[in-house]
Structure 1
C-alpha cells in the first residue's frame, strides 16, 4: 500500500556554540565558575546534537525522530531562558518541495531567529513522522498502530505550524511553510491516519456498518485534503502523482463505503439497495484506479464488489425481483471519525533532560537584573551621603587647622604628629608620582574604548551602505528589512555608550583640575619628613605648648577623637553597603510558576528594604551626630582661640593647605582607581557589544548573499504555468448527488564625585512570549549587556530603558483538477445511530488501541 510522505527541508551547516556562549556571557555575568562551565558544556552538546539531528532525518528511520525530538525540546527550553533576539545565528533552510532548476539553486530562507530554526525543525519532525508511518507494514497490528499514531501526530504538528510559522516569519515564507501548504498537509495526514483505522477494522472483521462509517469519514477527509491541495497557491508544489493518488484514494474510500454498506443491506434483506450500492462501488473502484493510474489499487476489494454484484443480480433476477433504487435516493451509513489531530505534548522526547538547568527563565533573569539595579541605586545613594558628609567634615577641620593647631610639639618648628602621619601615609601609597601615573593612564584607556566603539559603528555603517546600494540596484525586488530599521537599537545603545565615555572624560578633566589646584601641597606631602619640615614656616617657640593644656584644647582633642570614631564607623557602614546581597531567585521563580508573571517592583522593594533599612538608619544617625559634632567643634575652636590668643598666621595657613592636600590625595586616589576599573569594565562590555554587531553584520551578509543568489536564479525558476486542461468526462464524478454534499469534517568619604554614580539601568529584554517575532528577528530586539554593578563614580548616566520585547514557478505541467467525489454517500442524509445504538464505534477507544 503506497501512502504519501512529506519531503524534508534541507538545512545548512551552522555553528551555534560561539554566538550562544557570547550571549550567555553578556547576560549572565554573575554565574559561578562551575555553572558557567556546565553551561559551556551544554552549549557544545547542543551544537553537536543539532549537527546530528538535522541530518539524521534523511535516513528516514524512526531513530531520527528521537534525536529531533530532543533537539526541538532543547530549543524550546533555551528560548525561555535567553533573550533570543540577541542570538545572531543565520539559520538557513531550503524549501522542502522545491527541487531546483536546470540552472541550479533552490528556494531557501535565512533568518537569524531561533524561533525560525525551531519552526523548520518541527516541520521536519512532522515530515519524518509521515515517512516512518508510510513505511510501516499494514499487515501487522503493530505497524498499523504506529502508522496511525505517527500520521495523527504529524497532522497535529502541521496544524500547529500554521500559527507558529506565521508568528515566526513576518515576511514571505518558503512555499512549504505557507498557510495553504500546511493546511493541505495536515488534512492529508489526518486522512491517511483515518485510513489506518479503516484497514484495522477490516482486518478485525468488525461489523459492516462500523466499517462503512469509518470509510465514509475517510472519504470525506480525503475530499477535504484534495480540495486544499488543489488550491491555486499550492497546486504546483506537489509531485505530479500526489493529486491523482489522493483523488484515487478518495474514490476508493467511497467505493469501500458502498461495498460495506451493501453488506448491511444484504443482511437486512434489502436486495435492491444492495445491488444499487454494489453497482456504485464497482464504478467507483474503476474510477479510483483510473485516477491513481494504478490498475491494482484496491483490486482485491474491487473484485469482491464485482463478484457480489454478479451474485446479487443473479439472485434478484431469479428470486427476489426487487426494484433497484437510484443510488442518490438511498440513505448513507453515517460517519465515524477515529483519527484525531493530536495536540503537541509539553515535551516531544522521552525522559526530557534540560541541558540548561543552570539558566533561569528570561523573565526571572530580567527581574533579578532589575532588582540588582534597584539595590545598587539605593546603596550608591547611601554611600554618596556618607562621602559628602565626610568631605564636609574634612573641609571644616582644614579651615580651622585642626587637629594641628592643638598638637603639642617639642619645638614650635616641628611638624605636628597628625601631619607627620598624613605625610607618611601619602609616601607609603606612592605619593604624587602614583597619582600622576594613574592620571596619565586615563587617556590610553579612553582611547581604547573609543576605538572599539568607533569600529562597531564602522561595521554598522558599512553594512548599511551595502544594503542601501543593493536596494537601489534591485529596487522592489530587494525585499529584506532595511538595515537602518534593524540596527536602530544597536545605534541608540551605541550612542548611549558614547555619551558615557564623553561624560567620563569630563570627569577626568575635573580630576586633573583638582590635582593641579593642590599639586604643591601634594608635592610637599610626598617629601621626606626632614624635607617637609624645612618647607613649613617657622612658628614662635612654645606657641603651641602654651595653649596645649587649656580646657578648650582638651575639649578639641576629645572632639577630634569623636571625628575619628565617626569616620571609622562610616568605613564599616560603607563596606557593609557594598557587600549587601539580595537573592530573590527562588521568590521570582515561585511567582512566575504560580502567577505566570513577576511583580518585580513590589517584591524587590519589599525585600531590599528589609536588608538595607538598618544600614540606612545607621547612615541617618551618623549624619545627625555630625551636625552636633560640627557645632561643638566650632564652639570649642572659638573658645580655644580666645583663651590661647592663637591666630591664623603663615604657618597655620600652610598646615591647613597640607591637610586639604591630604584629603584630596585620598579622594583622587580612590576615584582614579575606580575610574580605571570602570574603563576596564567598559572595555569588556564594549568588546561584547562589538562582537554582537559583528555577529549581526555576518548574519546580514549571509542573508544578503542568499537573497542575491535567489534573485540571480529567479529567471531560471520562473516559468509560465500552463493552463489547466478541461477535465475529461471519464475523470468526473460518477452519479451526481441528488442531495447537497455534506461538508468535510475538519480537525479541530570624599567630595561628591564628578563621575556617574552607578552602572546599573542598562535595558534588559522584555519578557519573552511565544508571540510573533519582529521582521528580521534577531536584530531588532538587541539589548546591550548590563553595566558593572556596585558603587562606581563613573556611572550616573541614564541608560536605555527596558525594551518590551523578526508560489514557486515550475516547469512541470500542473496536474488535472479532480473533483472531490462527494458522490451519493457524501451528500446523503447521514443517519447516525444514537449513543446506545448498536454499530456505533467509540471514538475514544478505537478498536481497543
Structure 2
C-alpha cells in the first residue's frame, strides 16, 4: 500500500483546480466529493483509499442514474450484464482520467507571486495601464492668474499654492497597485473639483498627458484645461482600481470579492468620466477617452467583475443553474466590450480578440453548466443539445487562438476537453439508455441572466465637497478666501448690461434728438441768432460776415426791387382771380333770373354751385392763399422798413 500523501486543504484545493472546476471535474465526480470531504475534515488523504472509494461511489452513482427498467429502455436487446459492463467501463475510464490528473498535479505547491509580477505575467483578465504626465509648477500659473484677474494679492494663498503642488506630485507619481494610491489620487481630484468654482477651466496651464491605450502612446496631448487634468487623474484612478483587482489573490473567496469590488469601482469611475467630465471639457477629448473607448472599458471592467463573482460561485459550490446565469451575464458583458471596442480607435486588436474569445468562452461555460443542471433534472435530450451548443461556442472562441495569451487559451482547451468528454458520455447514454429526443438549438430556452456587477462611483469622486474640510479626509478647501470666479463673471456681466442699457436707452436717443434739433435750426437759419443770444456782448462772426456779404451785393436795392415786383405780381393775380370770380357770379345771377322767369318746372338746369362744387372750393382755397400771402407780404415789408430805419 502506498504511503498517505499529506496535503493541506488549500494545497489540495489549488491542486485539483477547483478555481475552474468546469475544465477539471464533473459535478457528479465521486473523487471530487472525497477531496471536498477531506478539505472539510482537514485530514490527510490516502490515494489508494480515495481510489477505492471513488470506484465504489462512481459505480453506485451510475446505477442510481440508470432507469428502473433498462431492458425495456433499449428495446429488450441488452441484458443486465451488458448494461453493467457498459456502466463499469464508463466509470472506470472516468476514474482513470481523474486519478492520472490528480497524480500529475498533486506535487505542485501553490504559488502566490508578488503584485508587480502578476501585472507583468500573462493572465486571463486585463487591467488599465496608467497615463503618464510631465512635471509642472501648477502654483506658478495660479499665482500669475490671481495677480492678473483678481483684486487679491497671491501671497495670501502661499500655503494653498504649496499644497496644490504637493497633491499633484503625489497623485501623478502613483505607479504601483497599492491601496495608499487611492487617497493620493482622490484628494487631488477632489481639490481640483473644488477649484473649478474658484477659477475658469482655462487657467493658463498647459497640462501634458500621454495616452495609455491605442497606437499613439508616445504622442502627448496638451490642453490648457482644468477639466482635462481632472479627466486624466480620474482615469488613473480607474487604472489603479483595475490593477488592485488584478493583484488580488483570486484563489480565495475573499480575494475574489475584493477583486470584484475593485473592478466595479473602476467601471464607476469610467462612467463618471464619460457622463460628468467629458461633456464639460469644451474641447475634443483624447483618443482613448471618447465615448466608444470609455464604453468599451466600462463593460470590460464589469465583465471581469462578473467573472470574479462567477468564479466565487464556483468555489462556493453554487447550483449549476445559478452558475449558468452568472456565466451568461459574463458573456454579455464581454460581448458589449468587444462591440464598443471595434468602434474605438484606441482599443487595440489584441484586446478585441481577447474580449471576443472570452465572450464565446463564457457562453460555452453557461451552456455547460446548464447541461449539468439538465443532467441532474434528468432532461437527457436537452443536456445533449446544450453540450453541443457549448462545444460550438468553444470552437468559435478557439478561432481567436492565434491572438490570445496562453492562459486564456489554456482555459479554452480545458473547457473543450471537459465538454467533449461529457458530450460523448451524454450522447452514448442517451442513445443506448434514455432515448430522449434532442431538441434543436432554436427550441432551447434562452438562459436567464444574473447580474452581480454594477458600476460603483466612489463618493470621493461624486461628492468631493463632503470630504473637504478642516478635519476631513482631503483637508481644508484650497483658496477658500479667494472670491469665486462666478462672482467676477457676474460682476462683469452686470457692467456689460449696464453699459448696454445706458448706450441704447439714453446716449443713442440723445444723439438722435441732437441731430434732429440741429437740422431744424439749420433750416430756420437760427444758429446765428442763438449764438447772438448766448453771447450778448457782441455779434457772432457768422452774422457779421453774412451782413457784409449782403452789403456788398447791394441787397437793399435788390430787396426793394423784389418788393416792387412782388406787388405787381400780386395785382395781376388779384385781377385775374377777381375776373374769374365775377364770371362765376354772373353765371349764377343769370341762372337765378331764368329760374324766376320760367320757374323750376320749365327751367330744370341746376345752379353752377351744385354742379361745380369742386370749382367753387378751389376758388375759396385760392382766396385764402391770396389773403395769407398779402398778410405775409405786409409783415415782411414792415420788418424791412423797420430794419432800414434802424
Aligned residue in 2 for 1:206: 318
SS in structure 2 of the partner of residue 173 of structure 1: coil
- Check whether the contact 1:74–1:355 (CA below 8 A) recurs between aligned residues: no
Give the Cα–Cα distance (whole angstroms) in 2 for the partners of residues 226 and 85 of structure 1.
34
Residue number in structure 1 paired with 2:233: 121
Match of 2:170 in 1: 52
Deviation at 1:277, TM superposition (A): 0.8
2: distance between equivalents of 1:99 and 1:202? 38
Q: Is the 8 A contact 2:202 2:224 kept in 1?
A: no
Matches within 5 A, 1:325-364: 325-347=439-461, 351-356=472-477, 359=480
Query: Match for 1:78 among 177, 184, 195?
Result: 195
Report 1:443-462 matches (<5 A).
none
Selected match of 1:94 from 198, 205, 210: 210
The offset of 1:136, in angstroms, is: 2.3
Shift of residue 228, structure 1, vs aligned partner: 0.9
CA contact (8 A) 1:11 1:94 kept: yes
Cα distance in 1 for partners of 2:326, 2:475 equals 42
Cα distance in 2, alignment partners of residues 89 and 357 from structure 1? 18
* CA distance in 2: counterparts of 1:243 and 1:347, whole angstroms: 29
Q: Give the secondary-structure state (helix, strand or coil) at the position aligned to 1:291.
A: coil
Partner of 2:185: 68
Is 1:227 aligned to residue 348 of structure 2?
Answer: no
- Is the 1:77–1:354 contact (alpha carbons within 8 Å) kept by the matching residues of 2? no
What is the 5 A alignment of 1:388-467? none
Structure 2 residue 370 is matched with structure 1 residue 254: no
1:315 to 2:429 alignment: yes
Q: Which of the numbers 118, 121, 131 marks the counterpart of 1:9? A: 131
Q: CA offset at residue 135 of structure 1?
A: 2.8
Cα distance between partner residues in 2 of 1:311 and 1:206? 24
SS at match of 2:222: strand
Gaps of 5+ in 1: 378-488, 493-849
8 Å contact from structure 2 (residues 199, 485) kept in 1? no
SS at match of 2:410: coil
Query: Judging changes above 3 Å, is the alpha-carbon distance between structure 1 residues 359 and 175 closer, same or farther for their aligned structure 2 residues?
Result: same
Q: Secondary structure at the match of 2:317?
A: coil
Deviations 1:197-225 (A, max 9, x none): 11111111112111111111111111111
Contact 1:119 1:164 in 2 (8 A): no
Alpha-carbon separation, structure 2, partners of 1:153 and 1:79:
24
Task: State the distance in 2 between where 1:121 and 1:162 align.
Answer: 14
Do the aligned partners of 1:9 and 1:120 also contact (CA within 8 Å) in 2?
A: yes
Q: Deviations over 1:364-400 (max 9, x none)?
A: 98289969x99xx9xxxxxxxxxxxxxxxxxxxxxxx
Does the CA-based 8 Å contact 1:247-1:292 persist in structure 2? no
What displacement does 1:132 show? 2.3
- Matched ranges for 1:753-768 at <5 A: none
1:264-275 aligned within 5 A: 264-275=373-384
Report deviation, 1:28.
6.5
Q: CA deviation digits over 1:745-794, x for unaligned, max 9?
A: xxxxxxxxxxxxxxxxxxxxxxxxxxxxxxxxxxxxxxxxxxxxxxxxxx
Superposed displacement of residue 258, structure 1 = 0.4
Q: For residue 245 of structure 2, what is the aligned residue in structure 1? A: 133
Does 1:188 find its partner at 2:300? yes
The alignment's C-alpha RMSD in Å is: 3.3
1:305 and 2:419 matched: yes
Tell me the TM-score normalised to structure 1 length: 0.40
Pick aligned residue for 1:19 from 132, 141, 146: 141
1:284 has 2:396 as partner: no
Q: 1:368 to 1:195 in 2, by over 3 A?
A: closer
CA drift of 1:299 comes to 4.2
Deviation of 1:317 after TM superposition, in Å, equals 2.6
Q: Which has the higher contact order (CA 8 A, sep 6+)?
A: 1
Q: What is the deviation of 1:25?
A: 5.3
**Structure 2 vs 1, CA of residues 347 and 167 (structure 1 numbering), >3 Å: closer, same or farther?**
closer
d(CA) in 1 for partners of 2:353, 2:420: 24
Deviation at 1:328, TM superposition (A): 2.3
2:132 partner SS: coil
| Greater percentage in helix | 2
> C-alpha separation between the residues in 1 aligned to 2:167 and 2:457?
25
Residue 55 of structure 1: how far off its partner (Å): 2.4
Are residues 253 and 369 of structure 1, via their aligned partners in 2, closer, same or farther at CA, if it must alter by over 3 Å?
closer
Find the residue that maps to 2:447 and give its secondary structure: coil
Alpha-carbon distance in structure 1 between the residues aligned to 2:483 and 2:282: 23
Higher alpha-carbon Rg: 2
SS, match of residue 459 in structure 2: coil
Using the alignment, how far apart are the partners of 1:53 and 1:358 within structure 2?
19
Shift in CA distance, 253/365, structure 1 to aligned 2, threshold 3 Å: closer
Q: Secondary structure at the match of 1:222?
A: helix
Q: Is the 8 A contact 2:307 2:330 kept in 1?
A: yes
Structure 2 alignment gaps of length 5 or more: 1-122, 500-646
Residues 285, 143 of structure 1: alpha-carbon distance in 2 compared, 3 angstrom cutoff = same
Q: Secondary structure at the match of 2:131?
A: coil
Distance 1:69 1:183 in 2: 22
For the 8 Å contact 1:116–1:168, the answer to whether it is kept is no
Contact 2:128 2:239 in 1 (8 A): yes
> Equivalent residue for 1:366?
487
Deviation per CA, 1:39-81, whole angstroms, max 9, x where unpaired? 422321220221232122x33443323211111111112222x
Q: Residues 249 and 369 (structure 1 numbering): CA distance in 2 closer, same or farther, change over 3 Å?
A: closer
The structure-2 alpha-carbon separation of the partners of 1:258 and 1:160, relative to structure 1 and needing over 3 Å to count, comes to same
Report the Cα distance in structure 1 between the residues aligned to 2:479 and 2:293, rounded to whole angstroms. 39
Q: Give SS of 1:265's match.
A: helix
Map Cα deviations across residues 451-507 of structure 1 (whole Å, 9 max, x no partner). xxxxxxxxxxxxxxxxxxxxxxxxxxxxxxxxxxxxxx9xx9xxxxxxxxxxxxxxx
TM-score, normalised with respect to structure 2: 0.51
User: 1:97 Cα deviation (Å)?
Assistant: 2.1
| 1:103-134 residue CA offsets vs partner (Å, 9 max, x unmatched) | xx933321111111111111121122222222
Give the drift of 1:30. Answer: 6.1
Q: Partners of 1:43 and 1:363 in 2: how far apart?
A: 16
State the distance in 2 between where 1:287 and 1:86 align.
50
